[in-house]
Structure 1
Amino acid sequence: MPKVKSEKKFRNHKETSSSTAGAQQGIRFNKDFGQHILKNPLIVTSMIEKAALQPTDTVLEIGPGTGNMTIKLLEKVKKVVACEVDPRMVAELQKRVQGTHLQNKLEIRVGDVLKNDLPFFDVCVANMPYQISSPFVFKLLMHRPFFKCAILMFQREFALRLTAKPGEKLYCRLSLNTQLLARVDHIMKVGKNNFRPPPKVESSVVRIEPKNPPPPINYQEWDGLTRIAFNRKNKTLGAEFKSTNVLNLLEKNFKIHCSLNNKPIPDSFDMKTKIEEILSKNNFAEKRARTMDIDDFLQLLHDFNSEGIHFS
């Protein structure tokens, strides 16, 4: 029989002031939940400083783990709502505040934050489970009422995608959509050795401040347009919009639009020709999504919609 390897145990670094409560008590972190506990107190302090918290604030924290950041937040604000999926971490966090003056300022919500409505909050501060980064960012940006800002730890490449500008290698639909709805700034690099256990990737902290009011556009239309444009971001829009699938989708939407608005469709109407005319109007035919900014896409969406061409 093959030899069965014994389960690895995390060493207890009790001599280190930054050791987490969980590590000291032998908690094994669950990589399925993206559990990499931030152990460096200087980074925790720096993230909290960047949040510019007020004593009257309610803070939303995602993935509090054993509570290293939570405790520092509780000392500065009126309330912390901590969302945690792992019951073991919840128990650890409850232990740390039990019987202290911080206990009544902490509300713990157990479960998947993506499957539940977000509570009211003024500021979000979190060392994110990296596998939920993208859906959580958009859940955050669609949250109402508006919050002041979010200070979030992400995988380095994801953070750089959020902040990438047109023409840069990492610029993508994520960059465009995030920057449409918020101002995003890269504020800190964080090495993998600042976590227990160390992740395989480097990390970064970003600051996200939602635009209030948001741009007055139809987001379903915007989403439909940008999905097509970024399907192959290095191809010209002229080539991208010639694909059979795109032509069929837009023709179907056009017929529905005409039917709803009692507009007759000329017998000579040809969707391919119509799209070529629209793209040529403001010289978009030769442009590529990877070099286009928010204003370019707003103009392109207007050009299509004004001709009755819709994406949703």
Structure 2
Amino acid sequence: MADGLLGPAEIRELAARLGVAPTKKLGQNFLHDPNTIRRIVATAGLRPEDVALEVGPGLGSLTLGLAGAVRHVHAVEIDPTLAAALPETVAAAHLTVHPADALKVTGDRFDPAPTMLVANLPYNVAVPVVLHLLAELPTLRGGLVMVQKEVADRLVAGPGSKVYGIPSVKLAWYAAARPAGKVPPAVFWPVPNVDSGLVAFTRHDPPAGATRSDVFAVVDAAFAQRRKTLRAALAGWAGGAANAEQVLKAAGVNPQARGESLTVGEFAAIAAAAKTSERGGKLSPTGAQTEEVDS
């Protein structure tokens, strides 16, 4: 064990003692390389006063690294056996273990409030976990997550990229994201058949003019039919292609553009324009055309 961090031998010994083995169902690949742990902690840009939130701590390798860098660590672990063993592995008074599903936790259970999300996320739920926690925890100022390389590429993609899509836009609503490096398969047990990538993000104010739910509804509709123009793709959402074109023009967006070319700000402008049309009597709340009547 180097600097109190878990290496391959310690990880396997701990797993054997607990009678656990990584499962595909929970997306478990245990990190066992101290150098990678140090790299993650350093790259995350943590401050001594930060409160770190870790999802899927597993056997505690990254948890140990975080505990030495911040004033408190919240660890959310869905596996009851691993959750029960974590306090013994990471014998720190400033650790709180939450035996829970990260997709169902609410912000009121964390005290002190988390300020940074740092986690080796289960690949099968990485995107929904990040988006859920950013929605639940406005106190998060940023984070660094390790995900499958393809997912990392999508999360940091910008308009015009071949992999730009729903995850890219929804993360951009909350934060500015950037790639923070690759992680080889060999640092995990078991060794996955894919590379991993680090994604760093810094929270910013969301675009003005529309609610998150309204903007995300536009995003979902725009990418449901990727190869169609926005006029066609948003027809169902707006109550018809003519209504969609009206809203797009009011938002200053070319109706012939495709969703892959729009920024999150432009999606917000579309949602705001739809609300304005509804209030003006041009569109009903469901997007159907109505007649304006003088009072």
* 1:24 maps to which of 3, 7, 13: 13
One-letter amino acid of the counterpart of residue 104, structure 1:
A
Preserved contact between residue 207 and residue 264 of structure 2 (Cα < 8 Å): no
Distance of 2:106 and 2:258 partners within structure 1: 37
Match of residue 290 from structure 2: none
* 1:291 maps to which of 261, 270, 275: 261
Segment of structure 1 superposing worse, 56-65 or 149-158: 56-65
Match of residue 185 from structure 1: 178
* CA distance 1:303–1:45, change in 2 (3 Å): same
Q: What pairs with 1:26-105 in structure 2 (closer than 5 Å)?
A: 26=16, 27-97=20-90, 102-105=91-94
Distance of 2:51 and 2:176 partners within structure 1: 21
Q: Deviations over 1:222-269 (max 9, x none)?
A: 122122211112211222244xxx1xx644xxxxxxxxxxxxxxxxxx
Q: Deviations over 1:112-144 (max 9, x none)?
A: 121221422121211111111121111122133
Q: Deviations over 1:70-119 (max 9, x none)?
A: 1122122222111111122234323324xxxx431211111212122142
* 2:207 maps to which of 191, 198, 215: 215
SS of residue matched to 1:107: strand
* CA distance 1:279–1:37, change in 2 (3 Å): same
Distance of 1:138 and 1:311 partners within structure 2: 26
5+ residue gaps, structure 1: 1-16, 252-270
Preserved contact between residue 67 and residue 73 of structure 2 (Cα < 8 Å): yes
* CA distance 1:274–1:147, change in 2 (3 Å): closer
Match of residue 3 from structure 1: none
CA displacement at 1:159 relative to structure 2: 0.8
Preserved contact between residue 220 and residue 311 of structure 1 (Cα < 8 Å): no
Q: What pairs with 1:217-256 in structure 2 (closer than 5 Å)?
A: 217-242=210-235, 246=236, 250-251=238-239
CA displacement at 1:51 relative to structure 2: 2.1
* CA distance 1:74–1:274, change in 2 (3 Å): closer
Match of residue 266 from structure 1: none
Aligned sequence identity (%): 27
* 1:304 maps to which of 259, 271, 274: 274
CA displacement at 1:193 relative to structure 2: 1.3
* CA distance 1:231–1:33, change in 2 (3 Å): same
* 2:101 maps to which of 96, 112, 118: 112
CA displacement at 1:52 relative to structure 2: 2.3
Match of residue 14 from structure 1: none
Distance of 2:272 and 2:143 partners within structure 1: 31
One-letter amino acid of the counterpart of residue 167, structure 2:
L
One-letter amino acid of the counterpart of residue 266, structure 2:
D
Match of residue 146 from structure 1: 139
* CA distance 1:199–1:240, change in 2 (3 Å): same
TM-score (norm. length: structure 1)? 0.78
5+ residue gaps, structure 2: 1-5, 288-295
Preserved contact between residue 126 and residue 147 of structure 2 (Cα < 8 Å): yes
One-letter amino acid of the counterpart of residue 98, structure 2:
R
CA displacement at 1:272 relative to structure 2: 4.9
Q: Does 1:124 align with 2:117?
A: yes
Preserved contact between residue 225 and residue 311 of structure 1 (Cα < 8 Å): no
Preserved contact between residue 218 and residue 234 of structure 2 (Cα < 8 Å): no
Moved over 6 A (4+): none
* CA distance 1:280–1:209, change in 2 (3 Å): closer
Distance of 2:241 and 2:8 partners within structure 1: 63
Q: Greater Rg, structure 1 or structure 2?
A: 1
Preserved contact between residue 22 and residue 92 of structure 1 (Cα < 8 Å): no
TM-score (norm. length: structure 2)? 0.82
One-letter amino acid of the counterpart of residue 36, structure 2:
I
SS of residue matched to 1:31: coil
Distance of 1:103 and 1:280 partners within structure 2: 57
SS of residue matched to 1:205: strand
Corresponding residue pairs, total: 267
How well do the aligned residues superpose, as a CA RMSD in angstroms?
2.2
Match of residue 3 from structure 2: none
